[in-house]
């Protein structure tokens, strides 16, 4: 039962990590494309909550993953899980930390002081493009590892 609760939390964490900030950023891009500056500023003001929700989702993913791993001791030796964790800690966590840093310290500072707004937004745009490309490759691979568990003899 413990494992199923952790798996449920894992799926909720996944939704929180990928969903809100991705949707919010797409709205932000659409408003910028339509040159609706009032909506862009409103979305930027609200987007920080989504960035923090995204970070919380990743923390829930990691914590629930460790709970699942501790509930099933054999998982410690699963090669598919080791690969999945390598991607999480080599890609997802650093990207999330960079995202929080850029938004919390560069964009918020630029908007609060009125200095360097264009540069901050350009940095965030470049970071978002790089993130999207990297995540478009790594997230499906992590899903594949989690679903198909290559090398595992017995299915669940």
Is the residue at 156 inside a domain?
A: no
Q: What's the rounded mean pLDDT across residues 106-128?
A: 90
Considering the domain boundaries, does residue 129 fall inside one?
Answer: yes
Domain assignment of residue 155, yes or no? no
What is the average per-residue pLDDT within 98-125? 91
* Mean pLDDT, rounded, for 77-98: 97
The domain total for the chain is 1
Q: How far apart are CA 87 and CA 107, in angstroms?
A: 27
Average pLDDT, the chain: 91
Instruction: Write down the pLDDT at residue 154.
Output: 57
Residue 153 has pLDDT above 80, yes or no: no
Q: Is the pLDDT of residue 155 over 60?
A: no
> How crowded is residue 118: how many other Cβ atoms within 10 Å of its Cβ?
8
Highest mean pLDDT among 30-44, 85-99, 113-127, 142-156: 85-99
Distance of CA 50 to the CA centre of its chain: 11
| Domain membership flag for residue 153 | no
Q: Does residue 91 have a pLDDT over 90?
A: yes
Q: State the CB neighbour count (10 A cutoff) for residue 72.
A: 14
Residue of higher predicted confidence among 46 and 118: 118
Is 61 part of a structural domain of the chain?
Answer: yes
How large is the average pLDDT for residues 38-59?
86
Residue 140 lies in a domain: yes
In a domain, 127, yes or no: yes
57: pLDDT confidence band, cut at 50, 70 and 90? very high
Are 102 and 47 in contact, with CB atoms under 8 Å apart?
no
pLDDT at position 37, please? 85
Using a pLDDT cut of 90, give the percent of the chain over it.
Answer: 66
Q: Do the domain assignments include residue 44? A: yes
Give the angle subtended at the CA of 130 by the CAs of 129 and 134, to the nearest 5°.
120
Indicate the pTM of the whole model.
Answer: 0.89
**Residue (of 54, 131, 69) closest to 95 by Cα position:** 131
Residue 85: domain span: 2-148
């Amino acid at each position: 039962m413990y494992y199923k609760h952790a798996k449920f939390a894992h799926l909720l964490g996944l939704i929180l990590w990928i969903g809100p900030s991705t949707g919010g950023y797409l709205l932000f891009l659409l408003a910028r494309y339509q040159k609706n500056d009032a909506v862009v500023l409103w979305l930027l003001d609200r987007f920080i909550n989504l960035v923090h929700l995204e970070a919380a989702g990743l923390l829930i993913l990691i914590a629930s993953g460790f709970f699942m791993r501790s509930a099933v001791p054999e998982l410690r030796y699963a090669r598919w899980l080791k690969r999945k964790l390598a991607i999480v800690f080599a890609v997802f966590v650093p990207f999330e930390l960079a995202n929080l840093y850029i938004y919390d310290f560069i964009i918020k500072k630029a908007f609060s002081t009125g200095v360097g707004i264009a540069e901050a937004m350009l940095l965030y745009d470049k970071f978002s493009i790089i993130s999207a490309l990297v995540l478009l490759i790594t997230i499906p691979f992590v899903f594949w590892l989690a679903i198909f568990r290559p090398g595992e003899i017995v299915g669940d």
